[in-house]
Structure 1
Amino acid sequence: MKTSEYLKNIGTLIQENRQSRGMTQSELAEALGTSQSAINRIEKGGQNISLEMIARIGDVLSCEIVRINNYGKTNFRVTGGRELHGSIEVKTSKNAAVALLCASLLNKGKTTLRRVARIEEVNRIIEVLESIGVKCRWLEHNDLEINPPKRLDLANMDVDAAKRTRSIIMFLGPLLHQYSTFELPFSGGCNLGTRTVEPHMTGLAPFGLSVQATSDRYVATNKPQAIDRAIVLTERGDTVTENVIMAAALYDGVTIIRNASPNYMVQDVCFFLQALGVDIDGIGTTTLTIRGVKSINKIVEYYPSEDPIEAMSFVAAGIVTGSEITVARVPIEFMELELATLAGMGLQYNMTPEYTARNGRTRLVDITLKKSKLHAPKDKIHALPFPGINMDNLPFLGLCATVADGRTLIHDWSYENRAIYFTELSKLGGRVEMVDPHRVYITGPTRWKPADIIAPAALRPSVVILLAMMAAPGVSLLRDVYSINRGYEAIAKRLNSLGAQIETVWE
C-alpha cells in the first residue's frame, strides 16, 4: 500500500471516530492545540502525521487509532470500590444492529441505519458486507449508510471476519431467493458450547433451501417451491426467527410462522421490513403472517431500538457497587420481569412515565436506582424465551445475587457451558457453588477482593467480571476484552463517566 493510501485510511478512521463522538473539526483542533484546517487535511489524508499526533488524537477521542503490534491484546485495569453517580444512556441494540445489517441484503436500494452501536460485532459484519461488494459508510451520529451492488461477489467473502461472528448464519434467509447456490463459513462468536444450526435449516427448508455442511462451511442450494402450510419452528430462537422472516420477505406469497420469537431484535427486523413494504401481522406474538414481495428496491432509513441487555448491565453495575444512578432510555417491555425479580429481592427504584423510541414503536423509560439491601429470592432464577427473563440478562441477575443476603440458585439451562463462568467470580471473593454445567448457587453478600483474570470468550460473562471488579476495592486486571468490545461501545469511557476508574491498557 502506498503512503498516500495509509494516510487516507488513518484520516478516515480519525474522522469516523470524531463524528461518532459528536465533535466538530474545530473542537478536535482546539483540544489538540492545532488549527481546524490541519484537522481537515489530516482527515483527507493530505498531511503527514506523526505517531505522537496519532497518540494524542487517540487520547482526545478515547479510541485506539493505530496499533503497531497486530497481536497485542486489549486489557482493562480496574480500580474498584468506587461508588457511581449520575446518568447513563442506553445505546441501540447490538443484536438488532447485526440482524438489520443482514436484512439490508434484501434491499437493492440504499439503507441508512441510524445511531448504530460502534462495536466489534457490527464491524465484523461490515467487513463481510464490504468484501462481497456492499458499500458501507459511517456518517455523523453513528449513522450507517449501506449501498448494495447489483450482484454480490460472494466468492470474495472475508472468511476470517465471517468466522468471528455467529451472525453470518443470518445471511441464509436474505440470500436464498437471490442465488441458487452459495457458500457461508461456519459461524463463530461466543464460546458457549455447541449450538446446533439445525433449527435454521428446518425453518428454511419449506422455501426450497437445502444445506450441506462440509469441514469448514455450509454449501446452500435453493430450489424455490410453494409453501403449503405454516412453518413451525422447532426452536423459538431469535436468529432462527429472523432468518425465516427474512426468507419470507422475498417469498411471493403468504408465510405463516408459528412458535416465532417475539423478542426485541425480531421486532426491530419486522419494523424494518414493514418500512421496506413487506406486510407483517402478529409482531410481538409467537405467530407471524408475512406477505412477501418479489423484489425490494427502496431508499429507506430506520432507527434500531435501545438495547435491553445493555440496560440490564448498567442496572447491575449500580446494584453491585451500591450506587444511585439513572439508566436512561430503557426498553421497558423487555426488562419488566428482570425488574420485578429484583424488586422481589428488595431493590428500590423510581421509573419515569413511558415515552417512545426513535423507531416510533418501542416503549422506553428512565430508571433511577436507590440504595437497597437485597436478599436472595425464594425461588430459583432462570430465563425463558420472551416474555420471560432474557437469556442474556441471566448472568447479570447472577451478579446481583452476589450482593444479596442468602443463597440464590441460578439455572442457565439454555447454554451448555455458560454457567461455569460464574465460578470466575470466586477469584474476586464470590461464593459460588457449581451444581452441574447449568446450575450454580451464589451466596451473598460478597466481600470483594481484586484479581487478575483473563476474560472468557463470551460476551455477557466477561461484562459480569468487569462489573464485579468495579465493586472490588483495589486494582484488578481483566485481560483480552475483545469479547466485551464485540457488544458494548466505549464501555470503559461510559462507565468512567459515572465515576468508575477503568483504564485501557495494551500488551
Structure 2
Amino acid sequence: MSDDYLQRIGGLIRTAREHKGKTQGQLAAALGTSQSAVNRMEKGQQNLTLEMVARIGEALDSEIVSIGYAGPMHLRVDGGRQLSGAIDVRTSKNAGVALLCASLLTTGRTTLRQVARIEEVYRILEVLASIGVKARWTNDGRDLELTPPARLDLDSMDEAAAKRTRSVLMLLGPLMHRAEQFRLPYAGGCDLGTRTVQPHLAALRQFGLEVAATDGSYHARVEAGVSPGRPIVLTERGDTVTENALMAAARHDGVTVIRNASPNYMVQDLCFFLEQLGVKIEGIGTTTLTVHGRPDITCDVDYAPAEDPVEAMSLLAAAVVTSSELTIRRVPIEFLEIELAVLEGMGLDHDRTPEYPARNGRTRLVDLTVRPSKLTAPIDRIHPMPFPGINIDNVPFFAVIAAAAHGTTQINDWVYDNRAIYLTDLTRLGADVTLLDPHRVLIQGPTRWRAAETVCPPALRPAVVMLLAMLAAEGTSVLRNVYVINRGYEDLAERLNSIGASIETFRDI
C-alpha cells in the first residue's frame, strides 16, 4: 500500500474506533496486538494486510473501506494429501479464558505465558478492556500482561463482546468480590442447545450471590457476610461450574469444600494459578477440593497454562484420517490416556516419548508419533464421561476417525442437545452417518471421501471435524464462515499447512 492510502485508511480506523467509544488499548486487545501498533496504523505508519483490515472491521463492527471489509472468512482445501513432520500443541483455550477471568481476583499484575491467540480470548479481552483492565502483549505477542484498575468500570462493559462468548459466565465468581451489584449479558458461544446456568447460580448463592435473569442480562447482587455452612455439592460435574466455585472460594475468608468438582485439565490449571496467588487448595485432580481462601490478594503473578488436550486430539485425528505419519509434540498425556486406549483397541499404530513437565511444572507431557493404521470400529459405543473418561470435546473427533475405520461405530454425545446432529454434515463429504436420535449417530466405515463445499457448523468441534474430513477428500473443498474455528484454534490452517496440508484462507469481496 502507498503511504497516502495507509494514511487514509488509518484515519478511517481512528474515526470508526472513536465512534464506537473504544480506546486504542481496547482495539489492540481485540486484535491481539499492542496499543503502539494501533497507534501506528491510525497514523498510516504501518502496512496493513487485507486480513488485518477485515479483522479491524469486525472488531469495530464497521466497514473500514468498501473494498476492505470482506465479510466472513472461508477455507479452500486441496485435499488428499498426506501430512508429515512434527507439530507442537498450543496452550489450552479453555484454561486461557478461565485464567483471564481469574486475573480479576488480584489487584496486582497478571502475566500469562504463551496465551492462545484465538477469538474466544479476544472476546474476553474486549470485555476486560471495557471495564478498565489494561492488556499488553509482550514477548513478540506470545505473552499477555494484565493490569487491573483500582476500581472496575462495570457500567461500561462491552456487551457485544460479552454476548459472543459463554466464557463470560466465569466472571460471576471474580466480580462478586469486586462489586456489590453488577450486570452480565446472557452468555453466547457455540450453538449447542439449551445449557442451564442454574448449577453456577446454586454454587455461588452459598457465597451470597443472588442473580435475577431479566431483559437479556444476569442482574447480580452480593449479600455481605454469607458463608457456606457446609460443603458445596455441585449439581453437575461441570468444568466452568467448578471454576466459578473455585474463584468465589479463592477470596472467601475461610475454608470451602467443593464436592463433585471437575478434575479436568482447565480446572487443574486454574488451581495451579490460584496457588501462585497464595490460595491453598487440597485435592487438585480429584472430585473434592478444599480451598483456603484469602480475602485480599494483591500480589503479581506469572503463570504458564498447559497445552490443550483437545487440540492434541484434533491433530491426532488429522493424522489418522489422512493416513499420515505425524509427530505431535507437547501432548498433555494425562488428559488423553483413555482416548489413546480406545484408539489402540481400534488398531492405532503409535508410540510416545517418556514424560516431561509442561511450563507450569505440573502437567505431564509426551511427544506422540502416529503412523498410518488399518483401524476397525470399537466394540463398545463411544461416549463422553467426566475426567478421566473420554473428554466431552473429543467425542466429535471419533466421528471422523470412525468414518475412516472398518465397521460400524455408535457415538452417543449425550451432553449437548444439538452437537450430534452436526456430525451428519460428514455425509456431504461421503461418510455414511445415520442419526438415531438428537444424541446418537451410527457411522459405517471406511469412507471414500469426496470434495464438497459447505457452510461451517455453528459448533467448534464439529466444525474442525469437517475441516479434517476435507483434508482427506481428494479434490478441492470449501468450508465457509469459519469464525467458530477461530474461536478455539490459533492459526489452524497455517499450522496444518506447515505439515503438508494445502489450505487457503479467503474472503468474498
Q: TM-score when scaled to structure 1?
A: 0.90
- The answer to whether structure 1 residue 105 and structure 2 residue 104 are counterparts is yes
Q: Which 5+ residue runs of structure 2 have no aligned equivalent?
A: 1-8, 16-22, 58-63
- Cα displacement (A) at 1:140: 1.6
- Cα displacement (A) at 1:335: 0.3
When residues 58 and 126 of structure 1 are mapped into structure 2, their CA distance, relative to the original with a 3 A threshold, is closer
Paired position in structure 2 for 1:454: 455
Instruction: Kindly provide the amino acid, as one letter, of the partner of residue 48 in structure 1.
Output: G
When residues 43 and 498 of structure 1 are mapped into structure 2, their CA distance, relative to the original with a 3 A threshold, is farther
Paired position in structure 1 for 2:87: 88
When residues 232 and 42 of structure 1 are mapped into structure 2, their CA distance, relative to the original with a 3 A threshold, is closer
Whole-angstrom distance in 2 between the partners of 1:243 and 1:42: 34
Find 1:3's aligned residue among 7, 11, 33.
Answer: 11
- CA deviations 1:464-502 (Å, max 9, x no partner) are 000000000000000000000000000010000011000
When residues 502 and 220 of structure 1 are mapped into structure 2, their CA distance, relative to the original with a 3 A threshold, is same
Instruction: Kindly provide the amino acid, as one letter, of the partner of residue 367 in structure 2.
Output: D
Paired position in structure 2 for 1:222: 222
Within 5 A, what are the aligned runs for 1:140-219? 140-141=139-140, 142-219=142-219
- CA deviations 1:99-135 (Å, max 9, x no partner) are 0000001010000000001000000000000000000
Instruction: Kindly provide the amino acid, as one letter, of the partner of residue 363 in structure 1.
Output: R
SS of corresponding position for 1:446: coil
Contact 1:54 1:65 in 2 (8 A): no
- Cα displacement (A) at 1:324: 0.3
Whole-angstrom distance in 1 between the partners of 2:507 and 2:111: 34
Instruction: Kindly provide the amino acid, as one letter, of the partner of residue 342 in structure 2.
Output: T
SS of corresponding position for 1:337: helix
Instruction: Kindly provide the amino acid, as one letter, of the partner of residue 503 in structure 1.
Output: E
SS of corresponding position for 1:241: helix
Paired position in structure 2 for 1:134: 133
- CA deviations 1:168-208 (Å, max 9, x no partner) are 11111011122111110000000000000000011111111
- CA deviations 1:335-383 (Å, max 9, x no partner) are 0000111110000101000000000000000000011100000110101
Paired position in structure 2 for 1:33: none
- Cα displacement (A) at 1:226: 2.3
When residues 183 and 388 of structure 1 are mapped into structure 2, their CA distance, relative to the original with a 3 A threshold, is same
Whole-angstrom distance in 1 between the partners of 2:199 and 2:24: 41
- CA deviations 1:199-226 (Å, max 9, x no partner) are 0011111111111000300001111312
- Cα displacement (A) at 1:64: 6.2
- Cα displacement (A) at 1:399: 1.1
SS of corresponding position for 2:215: coil
Whole-angstrom distance in 1 between the partners of 2:380 and 2:355: 30
When residues 179 and 9 of structure 1 are mapped into structure 2, their CA distance, relative to the original with a 3 A threshold, is closer
Instruction: Kindly provide the amino acid, as one letter, of the partner of residue 245 in structure 2.
Output: V
Within 5 A, what are the aligned runs for 1:490-501? 490-501=491-502
SS of corresponding position for 1:193: coil
Paired position in structure 1 for 2:407: 406
When residues 457 and 256 of structure 1 are mapped into structure 2, their CA distance, relative to the original with a 3 A threshold, is same
- Cα displacement (A) at 1:42: 9.8
SS of corresponding position for 1:486: helix
- CA deviations 1:421-443 (Å, max 9, x no partner) are 11100000000010000000001
Within 5 A, what are the aligned runs for 1:399-438? 399-438=400-439
Paired position in structure 1 for 2:44: 48
Contact 2:449 2:474 in 1 (8 A): yes
SS of corresponding position for 1:402: helix
SS of corresponding position for 2:206: helix
Whole-angstrom distance in 2 between the partners of 1:92 and 1:491: 13
Instruction: Kindly provide the amino acid, as one letter, of the partner of residue 121 in structure 2.
Output: V
Whole-angstrom distance in 1 between the partners of 2:96 and 2:490: 13
Identity %: 58
Whole-angstrom distance in 2 between the partners of 1:364 and 1:209: 38
**RMSD between aligned alpha carbons?**
2.4
SS of corresponding position for 2:421: helix
SS of corresponding position for 1:498: coil
When residues 338 and 413 of structure 1 are mapped into structure 2, their CA distance, relative to the original with a 3 A threshold, is same
Contact 2:70 2:507 in 1 (8 A): no
Whole-angstrom distance in 2 between the partners of 1:137 and 1:4: 24
SS of corresponding position for 2:386: coil
- The answer to whether structure 1 residue 395 and structure 2 residue 391 are counterparts is no
Instruction: Kindly provide the amino acid, as one letter, of the partner of residue 80 in structure 2.
Output: G
When residues 179 and 282 of structure 1 are mapped into structure 2, their CA distance, relative to the original with a 3 A threshold, is same
- Cα displacement (A) at 1:58: 6.6
SS of corresponding position for 1:177: coil
- CA deviations 1:72-115 (Å, max 9, x no partner) are 01000001000001101000000000000000010100000000
Paired position in structure 1 for 2:367: 366
Q: Which 5+ residue runs of structure 1 have no aligned equivalent?
A: 20-39
SS of corresponding position for 1:207: coil
When residues 481 and 272 of structure 1 are mapped into structure 2, their CA distance, relative to the original with a 3 A threshold, is same
Contact 1:9 1:45 in 2 (8 A): no
Contact 2:33 2:137 in 1 (8 A): no
Contact 1:41 1:47 in 2 (8 A): no
When residues 117 and 402 of structure 1 are mapped into structure 2, their CA distance, relative to the original with a 3 A threshold, is same
When residues 219 and 400 of structure 1 are mapped into structure 2, their CA distance, relative to the original with a 3 A threshold, is same
- Cα displacement (A) at 1:65: 7.1
Whole-angstrom distance in 2 between the partners of 1:455 and 1:216: 27
When residues 13 and 150 of structure 1 are mapped into structure 2, their CA distance, relative to the original with a 3 A threshold, is closer
Whole-angstrom distance in 2 between the partners of 1:220 and 1:375: 52
Q: TM-score when scaled to structure 2?
A: 0.90
Deviates more, 1:176-185 or 1:452-461: 176-185
